[in-house]
Amino acid sequence: MNKLTRRDFLGAAGVVLGAALQGCLQVGKSEKETSKAAKWHGFKYAMCNESMTGKSWRQQCRIVADSGYKGIEIAAFTLVKEGVHEKTPAQRKQMLAVMKDAGIECAGLHWLLAPPPKGLHFTTADKSVREKTIAYLDELIDFCGDLGGTVMIFGSPKQRNAVGTTVEQAGKYFVDGLTKVADHAAERGVKILVEPLDTSQTDVVNTMAEAMETVKQVGHPAIELMFDFHNTTDETEAFDLLINKFHEHIFHVHVQEMDGKHLGTGSAVDEYVKAFQALKDLKYDKWVSLEVFDFSPGGRTIAHQSMNTLRKIETKLI
């Protein structure tokens, strides 16, 4: 039997090691290629419920479903007289059942602090009011979680303006309040998304960059961003550039015409193509939700015409 020399041993070991490394590289390459080529299943559309206020929950869900949306986004103040505590566990289960029966789900909540209840303010200098507001935000987190929602859009401009304090201090109160509810949100599987609002609406957090800074200061995975076409008037970059810049932190999108009316009444079908192409290229798989501010055409018209416009936008994508 031939004696194995040290040189022979090292040579053989090198061959084995090289083969192993090559195998690992091939696996890594394969995983990257698979991830890159992962199938995108298309946009997932939801509709906010305010334009249907006055109709029953069942009617609202049916309008949304019949128009082709897969989710309904809820402004809780439209469903209560004093606060979400009015909705008992049994009533929340019934709301879930109605959504399931219609073939849709809860996308989440928005207009979080609009009254009722009255007297809420998140960034006021009045500590007792801030504490009351934070406590209600905790109630909303449970309401959202109970309905199966995954996001809460923090817009509420009138409840976050600097009141009795500086804008800088109001921003610190904003961060502090979000920090206090972040763990609870995470426990319920909910993300609270900071919504930039232009200076005509509020003086606290007006751009995506400012919202991103707020998110960084909180430093919690339950606090992230959303993108709203209507609220970009203070931005200096195009929609698609903003989406590409902040996409890792964007967990929701609001869409409407730039004047706040429903889609199809303006030029969104042409102006939003690059933005939707960016979302498609990024394989964005979270909600794109219709939020309008002119309810006069009625919920059914708003739903149908906006969906037709969304489909037209899709035909322009590559």
Domain assignment present for residue 12? The answer is no
Domain assignment present for residue 205? The answer is yes
Write down the mean pLDDT value for the chain. Answer: 92
* Average pLDDT of the residues in 148-165: 98
Measure the CA–CA gap between 311 and 307, rounded to whole angstroms: 6
In whole angstroms, how far apart are CA 147 and each of 27, 35, 47, 91, 312? 41, 32, 16, 10, 31
244: domain CATH number is 3.20.20.150
Domain assignment present for residue 21? The answer is no
Domain assignment present for residue 307? The answer is yes
Domain assignment present for residue 2? The answer is no
Q: For residue 288, what pLDDT is reported?
A: 98
Dihedrals φ, ψ of 265, to 5°? -95, -5
Within 8 A by CB and 6+ apart from 109, the residues are 73, 74, 75, 76, 140, 143, 144, 149, 151, 152, 153
Q: For residue 37, what pLDDT is reported?
A: 58
pTM confidence score = 0.88
106-150 residue pLDDT tens: 999 999 999 999 999 999 999 999 999 999 999 999 999 999 999
**Contact (Cβ atoms closer than 8 angstroms) between residue 99 and residue 105:** yes
Q: For residue 14, what pLDDT is reported?
A: 47
For 179, counting Cβ atoms within 10 Å of its Cβ (0-12 exposed, 13-18 middle, 19+ buried), the class is middle
**Contact (Cβ atoms closer than 8 angstroms) between residue 120 and residue 76:** no
**Contact (Cβ atoms closer than 8 angstroms) between residue 67 and residue 307:** yes
Alpha helices in the chain (DSSP H): 6-36, 57-66, 89-102, 127-146, 167-187, 208-218, 239-246, 268-271, 273-281, 299-315
- Please state the domain count of the chain: 1
5-42 residue pLDDT tens: 444 444 444 444 444 444 444 444 444 444 445 789 99
Identify the domain containing residue 200 by its residue range. 41-315
Q: For residue 38, what pLDDT is reported?
A: 75
46-89 residue pLDDT tens: 999 999 999 999 999 999 999 999 999 999 999 999 999 999 99
Domain assignment present for residue 35? The answer is no
162-176 residue pLDDT tens: 999 999 999 999 999
Measure the CA–CA gap between 260 and 266, rounded to whole angstroms: 10
Domain assignment present for residue 196? The answer is yes
180-234 residue pLDDT tens: 999 999 999 999 999 999 999 999 999 999 999 999 999 999 999 999 999 999 9
Domain assignment present for residue 3? The answer is no
Sign of CA dihedral 192, 202, 267, 298: positive
By residue count, the chain amounts to 318
